């Protein structure tokens, strides 16, 4: 088991955070820490806008950072499951980044 950090870029919608936390709860994964901020500087995330052909708007997108302790296999499973949530635009750990189902090399951290 290794301490991991996940970074999610997600839409600011009612219940979005509850769905992410619920996914961890339902699978029996533990969240060591959780931090959410609205994104005000979109410059680091321009590659997401280009790749998905979208334009982020102020107060519509947040960055969610989750710290958890899991093994490699479980980490890949968590990434795939979080990526399926409708409000999630991108999810990344130290090794992989998923953009709406597309595995990418860029890192959101």
The pTM is what?
0.82
Separation of alpha carbons 104 and 90, rounded Å: 10
Q: What is the pLDDT of residue 62?
A: 93
CB 69 within 8 A of CB 52: no
Q: Which residue has the tokens 């995330």?
A: 45
Q: Which residue has the tokens 């959410």?
A: 36
Q: What is the pLDDT of residue 108?
A: 54
Q: Sign of the C-alpha dihedral, residues 53, 55, 59, 65?
A: positive
Q: What is the pLDDT of residue 104?
A: 63
Q: Could you say which residues of the chain have pLDDT below 50?
A: none
* Fold (CATH) for 2-104: Alpha-Beta Plaits (3.30.70)
CB 3 within 8 A of CB 69: yes
CB 77 within 8 A of CB 50: no
SS3 call for 10: strand
Q: Domain limits of the chain?
A: 2-104
CB 6 within 8 A of CB 82: yes
pLDDT digits (tens, 9 = 90+) for 4-17: 898 999 998 888 88
């Amino acid at each position: 088991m290794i301490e991991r950090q996940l970074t999610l870029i997600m839409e600011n919608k009612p219940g979005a955070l509850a769905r992410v936390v619920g996914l961890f709860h339902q699978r029996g994964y533990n969240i060591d820490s959780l931090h959410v901020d609205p994104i005000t500087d979109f410059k680091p995330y321009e590659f997401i806008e280009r790749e998905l052909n979208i334009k982020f708007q102020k107060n519509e997108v947040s960055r969610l950072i989750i710290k958890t302790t899991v093994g490699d296999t479980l980490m890949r499973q968590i990434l795939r499951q979080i990526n399926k949530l409708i409000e999630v635009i991108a999810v990344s750990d130290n090794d992989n980044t998923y953009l709406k189902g597309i595995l990418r090399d860029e890192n959101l951290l």
